[in-house]
Amino acid sequence: MDTPVFSVLIANYNNGQYLQEAITSVENQSYTNWEIIIVDDGSTDNSEAIYECLNDPRIHVFHHDDRQNHGVGYTKHQAVLHAHGQYCGFLDPDDALLPNALEVTTKILDSDENISLAMSRCYYCDESLHIIAERPLFKNIELGYLESRNNLPGNFAAFRKKHYMCTGGIDITLKAGDDDDLYYKLEEVGKLSVCETFTYLYRRTPNSITSNIDRSFYWTIIARHNACIRRGLRPEDFSMRDWLTYLSENRWHSRAYRIGKLILNPSTYFKYMRNR
């Protein structure tokens, strides 16, 4: 069998109910020179039954030697090592690719050998994968991913494996924030390219990692801190700014925060009411 050009990487942990949909979205691609690398992270659901039904020789399933759960960072790191393609891209097992995803990103990477990371846009979807919103587009690509992280599209992100091997690889200790860690490292060894084409369906589910905003943000801050250290930057100039933005957008204006502040410091509320 010919060596595939594109390796679609899936790190799966207990997403058996969605996994077949993700696989089918790859099988329906307009670009056909691909393989799927699935690394199971100690799933205890029906994922194994899905694997047993796969009969496409382009789909390869791997397990950790101890069959235990090691976390998303470790599992994604293993997936890249198993990949044969010169280009790679992660597909979460509860998401799906639009039929043009591999064709669009392959053309971008083919156009310039110095491009290490090619990003496109995604749709936010409900649990049934019905589109509910568009992910915002970047404001200024010239700033790079570290500066523009909150405004850059994160899916679908394809990268050149030879550039990946020039980095330290995905931090295997990360429990979330692994995507940011990867993108920071890739832009340190090559060029970032972003196109406006939609290629990815991002499913929002109660069990998704990013549904736990606080946990996800904690690991993202660690990834940003490490990126600053590698680049000789002051982490407080980036991590603290991110933290303050997060608090302003997600906590300070929330009802829970206002009630908590009233309980802990009622005098502030009475002063406000008195001065109205």
Q: How far, rounded to the nearest angstrom, does the alpha carbon of residue 126 sit from its chain's CA centroid? A: 17
pLDDT of residue 20: 97
**Residue 164 covered by a domain:** yes
The count of structural domains within the chain is 1
Range of 110's domain?
A: 6-211
**Residue 237 covered by a domain:** no
What CATH number did the domain enclosing 79 receive? 3.90.550.10
**Residue 270 covered by a domain:** no
**Residue 244 covered by a domain:** no
pLDDT of residue 272: 52
CB 184 within 8 A of CB 223: yes
Which residue type does 165 have? Answer: M
Q: Picking from 140-149, 199-208, 257-266, which range would have the lowest pLDDT averaged per residue?
A: 257-266
**Residue 94 covered by a domain:** yes
pLDDT of residue 204: 87
Please tell me the distance from the alpha carbon of residue 42 to that of residue 71, in angstroms, as a whole number. 9
Q: How far, rounded to the nearest angstrom, does the alpha carbon of residue 115 sit from its chain's CA centroid? A: 19
**Residue 35 covered by a domain:** yes
**Residue 227 covered by a domain:** no
Q: Determine which helix (DSSP H) or strand (DSSP E) holds 261, and give its type and residue range.
A: helix 255-264
Q: What is the pLDDT of residues 220-267, one digit of tens each?
A: 888 888 998 999 988 877 665 665 565 555 555 555 555 555 565 666
Position 8 confidence tier, pLDDT thresholds 50, 70, 90: very high
**Residue 107 covered by a domain:** yes
Residue 89 clears pLDDT 90, i.e. is over it: yes
Q: Picking from 92-96, 101-105, 249-253, which range would have the lowest pLDDT averaged per residue?
A: 249-253
